[in-house]
């Protein structure tokens, strides 16, 4: 595991230990299983055309502060008006300045399905995501064992949470496929060097199994990138920084979706 990933995993272990003291796992589990109406995240990735998961991101380890005063409710509604298929909200605080409060504010402001974006390494966090009323969670293959990935996918299925399974290498894809993952996020960002290259998704998409749905993640800057990825057969995109920095996120989103008729 890279330095950054091992550091953040250590951080998460401490956070989980602290959370367990406030609310024991048996209790969060019980709350998690209270039936909830989910908004259908995976379903929206199966829509025809360009589907964008628009991210609310205040800061990141690679870019530092992007937008510290970001208003999550405002962004959520602009993303919705711009035609996003789903929302992604970072809930990690130390590295991304996100929070559960951001997630809740975005959820109240828009009707789109929402993914909780964090570094999940424990079933505790999956229960927590259900209580938070997430519709989907991110599972990063690189930080999970084969057994964890399988267990968390089946836990998600029981809770009716969709899972976006993140990969960055051929081995990651093999592990994701062995675990039965359906929605596969190919991260264009190398988590050791933080460099992004959209060729990563273009080159790796052919390794997916029939029936798996690709999502290109990170480093997508504009309509040309979306077009290139669409030519490679990818219709789903996770976009953060360039949307947060856009002077008019709604118009920017529309410009990304505009080219649909070409395909």
Ligand X SMILES: O=P(O)(O)OC[C@@H](O)[C@@H](O)c1c[nH]c2ccccc12
217 part of the interface to ligand X, by CB under 6 A: yes
Q: How far apart are CA 202 and CA 9, in angstroms?
A: 29
Q: How far is the CB of 186 from ligand X (least distance, A)?
A: 10
d(CA 154, CA 163) in angstroms, rounded, equals 10
Which residues, 74 to 113, sit near ligand X by CB under 6 A? none
Out of 51, 97, 187, 236, the residue judged to bind ligand X by CB under 6 A: 187
Selected binder of ligand X within 54, 226, 239, 256 (CB under 6 A):
239
Q: Which residue do the tokens 């589990």 mark?
A: 29
Residue 24 CB, nearest approach to ligand X (Å): 27
Q: Which residue from 241, 250, 253, 257 is in contact with ligand X, where contact means CB under 6 A?
A: 241
Distance CA 210, CA 132 (A): 32
Distance of CA 76 to the CA centre of its chain: 15
**Site for ligand X contains 172 (CB under 6 A):** no
198 near ligand X, judged by CB under 6 A: no
Cβ distance to ligand X smaller for residue 29 or 153: 153
Smallest separation (angstroms) from ligand X to the CB of 221: 8
Min. distance of Cβ 146 from ligand X in angstroms? 20
Strand partners, 164: 138, 183
Q: Widest CA span of the chain, in angstroms?
A: 54
Buried b (16+ CB within 10 A) or exposed e, 183-197: bbbbbbbbbeeeebe
Residues 132-171, one symbol each (x = binds ligand X by CB under 6 A, - = not), give: ----------------------------------x-----
- Which one of 240, 249, 250, 253 is in contact with ligand X (CB under 6 A)? 240
Beta carbons of 213 and 46 less than 8 angstroms apart: yes
Q: Which is nearer to ligand X, 12 or 29 (CB)?
A: 12
Token digits for 26?
Answer: 């048996």
* Strand stretches in the chain, DSSP E: 51-56, 59-60, 64-65, 86-90, 114-117, 136-140, 162-167, 183-187, 213-217, 236-239
**From 201-209, 218-226, 228-236, 248-256, span contacting ligand X (CB under 6 A):** 218-226
Say if CB 133 and CB 36 are below 8 A apart.
Answer: yes
Q: Closest approach of Cβ 92 to ligand X, in Å?
A: 7
User: Interaction with ligand X in 48-77: which residues (CB under 6 A)?
Assistant: 55, 57
Binding positions for ligand X, rule: CB under 6 A: 55, 57, 117, 166, 187, 196, 217-220, 238-242
């Amino acid at each position: 595991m890279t330095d950054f990933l091992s550091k953040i995993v250590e951080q998460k272990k401490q956070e989980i230990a602290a959370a367990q003291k406030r609310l024991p796992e048996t209790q969060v589990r019980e709350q998690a299983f209270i039936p909830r109406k989910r908004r259908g995240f995976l379903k929206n990735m199966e829509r025809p055309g360009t589907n964008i998961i628009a991210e609310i991101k205040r800061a990141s380890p690679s870019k530092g502060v992007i937008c510290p005063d970001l208003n999550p409710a405002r962004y959520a509604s602009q993303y919705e008006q711009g035609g996003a298929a789903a929302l992604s909200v970072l809930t990690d605080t130390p590295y991304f300045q996100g929070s559960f409060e951001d997630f809740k504010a975005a959820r109240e402001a828009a009707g789109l399905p929402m993914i909780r974006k964090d570094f999940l390494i424990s079933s505790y966090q999956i229960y927590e995501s259900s209580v938070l009323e997430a519709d989907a969670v991110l599972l990063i293959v690189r930080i999970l064992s084969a057994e964890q990935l399988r267990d968390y996918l089946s836990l998600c299925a029981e809770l009716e949470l969709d899972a976006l399974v993140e990969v960055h290498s051929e081995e990651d894809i093999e592990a994701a496929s062995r675990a039965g993952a359906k929605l596969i996020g190919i991260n264009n960002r190398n988590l050791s060097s933080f460099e992004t290259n959209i060729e990563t998704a273009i080159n790796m998409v052919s390794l997916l199994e029939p029936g798996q749905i690709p999502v290109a993640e990170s480093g997508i800057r504009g309509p040309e990138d979306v077009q290139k990825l669409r030519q490679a057969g990818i219709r789903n995109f996770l976009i953060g920084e360039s949307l947060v920095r856009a002077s008019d996120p709604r118009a920017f989103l529309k410009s990304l979706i505009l080219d649909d008729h070409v395909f």
